[in-house]
Structures are given as structure tokens and as C-alpha cells.
Amino acid sequence: MSRYLAEPSYRHGSPALTAVLLINLGTPDAPTAPAVRRYLGEFLADARVVEIPRLVWWLILNGIILNVRPRRSAAKYAAVWTPEGSPLKVHVQRQAKLLRGSLGQAGHQVVVDYAMRYGTPSIPATLSRLKAGGCTRILLLPLYPQYAASTTATAIDAACAWLQTVRNQPEMRMVRSFADHSGYIQALAASVREHWASSGRPTSAYRLVMSFHGLPRYTLDKGDPYHCECQKSGRLLAEALGLAQEQYQICFQSRFGRAQWLHPYTAPTLRALAEQGVQKVDVICPGFPADCLETLEEIAIEGKSEFLAAGGKEFGYIACLNERDDWIRALADIAASHLQGWSTTNSRDQGSPELSALRAKAMGAAS
């Protein structure tokens, strides 16, 4: 039996397409315990996500976590679920559509699609559809501003594993990170300024809390640059806003398990700020380009409760970049810089019926 996926025979002179594939972490298909169990089973089984001996972790995951956590997590997902579905999936779908338009306005006639590392649409399924649609050049753009082995690297792992199953491989590139990209930083800064304009300027008893997703401390000790890239993004955002060091705080959320994670933790930080007399905080999550469970439930709901219960007076949540025009322009700039050298501009073949049909096929569910 062949090791390769079935694919059509090669046709000389076939039109070639370039694609940009946005990749995010993933989401359950529904806010139910069975759907969350399937999602967590795939996510937490990844050896890059949990780096402890496989047999020990398999017993913990299947014996305890997948029997306890899905029901609790499903209730949290239900609190933020929208009529259109998972907030993360909805935002990424819209980002793909808007990015396609932004790149098109700049003269780049490319296919733009999206995939999830865990859940659906999967990276292998989406890459197969792009290839079947005639895409011979694919730029992978993981939507993780700061690089981590457990996020960016595992997404690239999945794409490379798919390549091993393909006989006629497309050319492929990747965006590693964009933690210090000026457009990304300026979009974050603009979102903060707009929030201040509507809710009031900071006072002396104020902090801007920048909450990034946490990782176990051992990832830093083993050489993962994630912590440093988060610090850099936070510093650049503070500089863009003209904040002094005592006016903002970088911290890390979503701790899981008993191991030490990157410090300081977000929830204890919010409590401590209130206890120290800080009356108002605004929280922004720069590591999340799209709102999701970790921002809408963990920060906007639970974080607010933590701060107010500890004596804080005003809590503001600043939405993720989502579909902001300045963020889509920045995303287009990031993509365009990595598309250099590939033919993506208009040509006499771009309007041909055959190429239009190929593009429609490659777009698939993202259209």
C-alpha cells in the first residue's frame, strides 16, 4: 500500500496558486462535555504541550483529566458561545476573509484559508484541500505573536507531517513569530487608546495589565524564547502608550497543574493590585489576536470578579484585535513580507475561468 495520499495525476501547464494559511490553536465543536473531551484529548495528548513521560501522562490524562475537566470546561465555553459558534473560530474565519481582501487590494492574488491545530478544520485536511485546488506555494501563518514550542512549533509539526504523506509536495514557508512587528504593536496601542477614550484616562491608582498565556517554567529553562518575546511585546506596547514602568504589569494566565509556571500569575496579580490600593485596572491580552475562552471567560468574567472581590473599583477588559482594520493591515504586511519572491501579482492568467475555478476549489469552507 502506498504511503502517499491519493492525488490527481500531474498535468503539465496547470495554473499555480499561492495560499496563506492562518493557523490557530483550536476549539471544541460545541459547548458540550463530549465535544470538549474530544478536543482536550487531542490537545493534551500532544507531547509538545505536556512534556512529561508519556506513560505517566497517559494515565493522568485518561484516568483523571478527561473524566473530570470536560464538564467543567463545557460550562465555561457555554458562557461565551455565540449564535455563530465558538468565538475563536468565528473571529479566525472573519480574519481570513478580511486578510484575503486586504492582500488583494495590495495586488496579491492569493488564496487565504484557516485551520486549527486541534479540532476542525484540521491542518492536514485544509492543506489537502489547498493542494487539490492547485496551490503549489503555501505560507503558514500561525496566529501566535510570540513563539513557543507548544504553539507555533506544534503547528509546523502538523504541516510537516502532512508533507510526508504527499508525493508532489507544494513549496512551503512559515512565519515564526511577530512579537515586535510595528503594525501589531501599533494596533494593540490603538485599541488601548480607544478604550481609554471611552472609559476615561488612567489615574494614579491605575494599572494596565498585560496578560499573556502561561507556560511551565521549565520551558524557559530549556531554551524556549516565549517568555522573552512576551516581555518584549509588553515593553514595546508600554513605550507606544507612553507608560512608565509602574503603570503597567506583565503577567501570565491559564496555569494548569501543580508545576511552577511563568510568573507572575494573572489572577493573584489582580487580587494583589486591588489589595495595594489600585482602584482601576484595564486588562489586555496581547498574545491572543482573537478573543476566545481564555480571554472572554478567564479574564473578562473571572478576572473581573477576582479584582472587584479584593476591593478594586473599576475593571476594564480590552478586546483582542479580532477584525480591527489596523490589525488586518498589519497581518497583511506580515504575510506580504514572507511572500516576497513568489509570484502573487495580477497577470493575464489571473482572470481565466480555469484559474477562477481552482481558486474557488482551494478556498473551500473559508469562502
pLDDT of residue 366: 42
Q: Are 251 and 211 in contact (CB under 8 A)?
A: yes
Give the cell for residue 226: 516565549
pLDDT averaged over every residue in the chain: 93
pLDDT of residue 149: 98
CA angle 134, 135, 140 (to 5 degrees): 160
pLDDT of residue 367: 43
**pLDDT score of 15 more than 80:** no
Measured CA to CA, the distance from residue 342 to residue 24 in angstroms comes to 24
Mean pLDDT of the region 133-159:
97
**pLDDT score of 160 more than 70:** yes
| pLDDT tens-digit readout, 58-68 | 999 999 999 99
pLDDT of residue 320: 98
Provide the 10 A C-beta neighbour count for residue 46: 15
Q: What percent of the chain has pLDDT over 70?
A: 93
pLDDT of residue 11: 75
**pLDDT score of 351 more than 50:** no
Q: Would the pTM of this model clear 0.85, i.e. be above it? A: yes
Three-state SS sequence of 94-145: HHHHHHHHHHHHCCCCCEEEEEEEECCCEHHHHHHHHHHCCEEEEEEEECCC
Give the cell for residue 210: 498585560
Under DSSP, is residue 30 helix (H, G, I), strand (E, B) or coil? coil
CATH code assigned to 182-318: 3.40.50.1400
The residues facing 137 across adjacent strands are: 18, 171
**pLDDT score of 121 more than 60:** yes
DSSP class of residue 32 equals S
- Residue 5's pLDDT band, with cuts at 50, 70 and 90, is confident
Radius of gyration of the chain (CA): 22
The DSSP-derived string for 209-260 is EEEEEP-BHHHHHTT--HHHHHHHHHHHHHHHHT--GGGEEEEEE---SSS-
pLDDT of residue 347: 43
Mean pLDDT of the region 39-66:
96
Whether 182-318 and 17-178+325-366 are alike in CATH topology: the answer is: yes
pLDDT of residue 353: 47
222 Cβ contact list (under 8 Å, min separation 6):
none
**pLDDT score of 357 more than 70:** no
Q: What percent of the chain has pLDDT over 90?
A: 86
Provide the 10 A C-beta neighbour count for residue 330: 23
**What order of strands is seen across the sheet that includes strand 248-253?**
248-253, 206-213, 280-284, 314-318
First to last CA, the chain: 35
Mean pLDDT of the region 143-148:
98
**pLDDT score of 170 more than 90:** yes
pLDDT of residue 360: 64
* Residue 213 labelled as part of a binding site: yes
232 Cβ contact list (under 8 Å, min separation 6):
179, 180
| pLDDT tens-digit readout, 311-343 | 999 999 999 999 999 999 999 999 999 999 998
Three-state SS sequence of 38-53: HHHHHHCCCCCCCCCC
Higher pLDDT, 148 or 356: 148
Provide the 10 A C-beta neighbour count for residue 338: 16
pLDDT of residue 273: 98
Mean pLDDT of the region 160-176:
97
85 Cβ contact list (under 8 Å, min separation 6):
none
Q: How many residues does the chain have?
A: 367
Higher pLDDT, 365 or 45: 45
Mean pLDDT of the region 248-273:
95
Closest among 152, 199, 198 to 176, alpha carbons compared: 152
Higher pLDDT, 296 or 12: 296
* Residue 84 labelled as part of a binding site: no
**pLDDT score of 346 more than 60:** no
**pLDDT score of 54 more than 80:** yes
82 Cβ contact list (under 8 Å, min separation 6):
90
CATH architecture assigned to 17-178+325-366: 3-Layer(aba) Sandwich (3.40)
So where are the chain's domains? 17-178+325-366, 182-318
pLDDT of residue 125: 97
| pLDDT tens-digit readout, 184-212 | 999 999 999 999 999 987 888 999 999 99
DSSP class of residue 169 equals P
Across 101-110, 216-225, 356-365, least confident range = 356-365
The secondary structure of the chain in percent helix, strand, coil, rounded to multiples of 5, reads: 50, 15, 35
